[in-house]
Amino acid sequence: MTQELDSVLRKSLDEVDRARKRQWVYLALCFSCLVLFMISIMKTAANIGDTRLIAEVLVGALISVLTNILVVLGLSLFINRMTNKILKAIDLISKE
């Protein structure tokens, strides 16, 4: 394989690794935003004196947000893993 193609492949593998690291940072940000959202809802409900609202909102928020986060994370990790495998296979073929 020529040096050009080898450098392009190397850059692609590096980009896949960087994307994986960014995904974990995004996941941490999503969970911290979820925690801040739940705290704000709890404080708002406590200020108006409705304790039933706290439980309903928390359960609804947890179910909907966590489900969405897990689905998106699962899909992105699957796509990232498949991309990484394909690029590594190309790398192995190019070394033969």
User: What are 73-85's pLDDT values in tens digits?
Assistant: 788 778 877 887 8
Distance CA 42, CA 34 (A): 12
Q: What is the pLDDT of residue 57?
A: 74
With 70 as the cut, is the pLDDT of residue 41 above it?
A: yes
Report the percentage of the chain scoring pLDDT > 90: 0
Distance CA 37, CA 26 (A): 16
* Residue written as token pair 């309903």: 56
Report the percentage of the chain scoring pLDDT > 70: 97
Residue 96 pLDDT level (bands cut at 50, 70, 90): low
With 60 as the cut, is the pLDDT of residue 54 above it?
A: yes
The full set of domain ranges for the chain reads 3-95
Distance CA 12, CA 10 (A): 5
Please state, rounded to an integer, the average pLDDT across all residues of the chain: 78
Is 56:42 a contact under the CB 8 Å cutoff? no
Q: If you average pLDDT over residues 23-47, what whole number do you get?
A: 80
Q: Supply the Cα-derived Rg of the chain in whole angstroms.
A: 21
